[in-house]
Amino acid sequence: MTSHHAPFQPAVHLAPPTGWLNDPNGLCLHNGRWHAFYQHDPAGDVPTSMHWGHATSDDLVHWEHLPVALEPDELGQAFSGSVVTDVENSARFGAGAMIAVFTHHLDQGGRISERQSLAISTDD
């Protein structure tokens, strides 16, 4: 929940502290804490550089914003996807690994390529 009532900032819903917000990309319970990921451009109010924002909560009302989870790299911007917690180590990255599957979007002067990518976190 936001601690202030800035214009255009909801009082109860999760919203980034700055920048543009788009798709929710994952809500998962990890080690007793909720993690929310969302498509986000922290630099402004229009989508020019897609990142994934990240926030955590104990009660789904009060949120702590964490550093960006995914940012653009040589493969492109981090577009939509989803996150799961692999409780049973099905993917063999370690029990409790958080696994994100997302679209990398690269625009090279009008030549667009997209690919599915995987990101894994084993450090909470």
pLDDT digits (tens, 9 = 90+) for 20-60: 988 899 899 999 999 999 999 999 888 889 999 999 999 99
CA distances from 14 to 37, 62, 65, 92, 98 (A): 10, 8, 10, 32, 20
Helix (H, G, I), strand (E, B) or coil at 72: coil
Is the residue at 54 inside a domain? yes
Active site residue 23: yes
With a cut of 50, say whether residue 120 has pLDDT above it.
yes
Q: How far apart are CA 107 and CA 90, in angstroms?
A: 34
Q: If pLDDT is split at 50, 70 and 90, which confidence band does 6 have?
A: low
Name every residue whose Cβ is closer than 8 Å to that of residue 34 and which is 6 or more positions away in sequence: 27, 28, 56, 57, 58, 60
With a cut of 60, say whether residue 1 has pLDDT above it.
no
| Marked catalytic residue, from 23, 41, 86, 107 | 23
pTM: 0.86
pLDDT at 2: 43
Mean pLDDT of 105-111: 93
CA distances from 58 to 6, 35, 53, 62, 122 (A): 24, 9, 17, 7, 20
pLDDT at 4: 54
Domain count, the chain: 1
Q: How far apart are CA 21 and CA 25, in angstroms?
A: 11
Helix (H, G, I), strand (E, B) or coil at 78: strand
Is the residue at 6 inside a domain? no
Is the residue at 79 inside a domain? yes
Range of the structural domain that residue 66 is part of: 20-121
- pLDDT tens for each residue of 64-87: 999 999 999 999 999 999 999 999
Helices (H), 8-124: none
